[in-house]
Structure 1
Amino acid sequence: MNIIEKWQTKLEEKGIHVLIGGRESPHPKGVGFAKNRAIEQSVGRFLCFLDADDVMMPQRVRLQYDAALGHPHCIIGCQVKREPEGSTERYTRWINSLTQEQLVTQVFTSHGPTVIMPTWFCSREWFDSIGKFDESGKGVPEDLMFFYESLRKGGGMFRVDHCLLVYRYHSEAATHAVLEETIWKERVRFLEERVLNGWPSFTIWNAGKQGRKLYRCLSAANQKKVASFCDVDQSKITKGFYTYEESKINPKPKIPICHFMEAKPPFIICVKLDLTGGRFEENLNSLKLKEGVDYYHFS
C-alpha cells in the first residue's frame, strides 16, 4: 500500500486521477474478485493489467494502446523479461517466441494462455462483451477461463514484440495456488469443444503417461475417434496395443500403438516442446504437417 500511495501522489501531481480500492477481511475472495472490483471502479476506455509483483517498462501503455486501436477484439500482450534471470527458461522462451499464428494454435498447451495475464491490455468494450473473471477464489485459473471465453466469442490475441514487462518468479505467486488438475480439466474440455468434436478420427502422439491420461479424460464419443497412439519408444510400440480396462465403452477399446512415421494425422501431441534437444521437433518437421490443421500441441 505504501508503494501505491507514493505513486498516487506522483501521478496526481501530473493531473492523473488515481482511485485506490480495497477490502479489509481475514477471508480474501481471490484474484478474480479483486480484478473485477478494480475494473468496476475504473473509468477508462482501455484496461491495462499489472500484477503486484511485476514491473512495467517505459512505453508499455503507449505501445499496447496503439496495438489495441488496430485490434479492437483482441487481448494484447507483449514480450517479457523473467526475473530472476534463468528462472522458468523454457516457459519464458515460449512466451516470447510464439508466432502470431501460434498464439491461436497453441492455446491448449500446459503453459496456459498464449498471451500471459500479467501483460494483458484490452478495450473495456471487449472486456465487457466477454464478462467478468471467475470469482470462485483460490485455486481457480480465472485468467485461463476468461481467455478461453474470449476465444469462444470470436476474440483474438496480439503480442507487441517488445519487452515491456518484468515478470517476476517467486514461490508466493498466486499462480502456484492453482491446481494442475483443475487446469488440465479446463484444457481437455476446451480441446474437445474446439477441435476434437469436429474431427472424425485422430492419433494421440505419445503412448506414455501423458497420452494415456488424455485418452482416459476424453468423452466416450471422442475416445472412439482415437485411431492409434504413436511413439518412438520401441518398447511401447512392441506392446502393439493399449487397452483401457476402465472404459465405459463395450467392448473395451484396444488402441493400436505404432511408430510416428506409420501413424496418420491429424495428431494431438502430448510431447513437451523444447525438452529433447530438438529430436522431437525434427521428427515432427519431417512429416511436413501444418500446425492448426494436421496437429495441435496439448502438453
Structure 2
Amino acid sequence: MTSSKLLWKRAEIIGCQIKREPEGSTERYTRWINTLTQEQLVTQVFTSHGPTVIMPTWFCSRKWFDYVGKFDEGGKGVPEDLLFFYENLRKGGSVFRVDHCLLLYRYHSEAATHAVLEETIWKNRVAFLEERVLSSWPSFTIWNAGKQGRRLYRSLSATNQKKVVSFCDVDQSKITKGFYTYQESKDKPKPKIPIFHFTDAKPPFIICVKLDLTGGGFEGNLNSLMLKEGLDYYHFS
C-alpha cells in the first residue's frame, strides 16, 4: 500500500488546497493553509490561523462525525469548526490534505467567522495547548518577550506558569532588561522570568512569533537551531 493510501486510511478529516476570491485576499493565511506539510497539519493546530485544513473543504464519514460529537450549535460567536477540529484530534482522529486546489473560497466582510471574538478563540487555543503539550512538559521557554509572549504567560494555569523557565527574543532592549516581572501575581515575591537571546535559551519552545512576517528573518533564526517541530517547539501565534 502506498504512503498516500495509508494517510487516507488513517485520516478522519480530509480537506484540500484552496484559491481565494478576490485574488490576494488573506494572502498569508492562504499560503499557510496550502503549503503545510502533512506533519504540520498536526503540529501547527495551536496557531491563530485555526484548523490546518479549512472547514469548507472538510469531508469525513457520518459515523466519524457522530462519534466526534457533531458541531456546537451555541450560535453566533461560537468557533464551531475549531471546537470540532480539536475534538477530532482528542478522539484520535487525524488530518489529511489533498494537494490540489478544489475550492474557490470567497472572502467577504460579512462572513460568520468575523462574529467570533478573538478572546474566545484565544481561550480555547490556550486550553488545548495546555492539554495536548504543556501537560507533559516539565519546563519550557516562551519565544517572544513582547506582548504576545507575556499574554500567553498570563493566560496559563498557575501550574504551567511555574514551568516557564525563561523568555527569549532578538530585541536587545528586552534582553538587556533581563527579566519579565509578573506584577498581577499574588505571589510574594512576584515571579521574575529571565529573558535571553534565542541562541542562549533552552528548548522546548512555545513560539509566539507570527510566521511569514519578517522576510524570512525569524524562520532563519529558528532553522539555525536545528530543532524538530512537534518535539522541540510548537508554534502558537
Alignment of 1:242-253 (within 5 A): 242-253=180-191
Q: Does 1:121 align with 2:59?
A: yes
List gaps (5 residues or longer) in structure 2. none
How many residue pairs get aligned? The number is 234
Give the Cα–Cα distance (whole angstroms) in 2 for the partners of residues 265 and 126 of structure 1: 37
Tell me the residue number matched to 1:36.
none
User: Does residue 1:163 correspond to 2:97, yes or no?
Assistant: no
Shift in Å at residue 70 of structure 1? 3.5
Say which SS state the counterpart of residue 165 (structure 2) adopts. Answer: strand
Superposed CA deviations along residues 41-77 of structure 1, whole A, max 9, x for unmatched, are: xxxxxxxxxxxxxxxxxxxxxxxxx979933651000
Query: Is 1:297 aligned to 2:235, yes or no?
Result: yes
| Larger RCO (alpha carbons 8 Å, 6+ apart) | 2
4+ aligned runs moved over 6 Å, structure 1: 66-69
Partner SS state of residue 125, structure 2: helix
Instruction: After TM superposition, list the pairs within 5 Å mapping 1:1-299 onto structure 2.
Output: 70-71=8-9, 73-299=11-237
Query: Residues 248, 132 of structure 1: CA spacing in aligned structure 2 closer, same or farther, 3 A cutoff?
Result: farther
| RMSD (CA atoms) | 1.5
Deviations 1:230-255 (A, max 9, x none): 00000111110000011134432100
Distance 1:275 1:115, change over 3 A: same
Deviation per CA, 1:146-194: give whole Å up to 9, x if none: 0000100100000000000001111011100000110000000000000
TM-score, normalised by the number of residues in structure 2: 0.96
Offset of residue 85 of structure 1 = 0.1
Q: Which amino acid aligns with 1:165?
A: L
Larger radius of gyration: 1
Residues 72, 126 of structure 1: 8 Å contact kept: no
Distance, in Å, in 2 between the alignment partners of 1:69 and 1:291 is: 20
* Structure 1, unpaired ranges of 5+: 1-65
Does the Cα contact within 8 Å between 2:10 and 2:94 map onto a contact in 1? no
TM-score (normalised: structure 1): 0.76
- What amino acid is the match of 2:48? S
CA contact under 8 A between 2:7 and 2:96: conserved in structure 1?
Answer: no
The residue that corresponds to 1:27 in the other structure is: none
Could you tell me which residue of structure 2 aligns to residue 7 of structure 1? Answer: none
SS at match of 1:166: strand
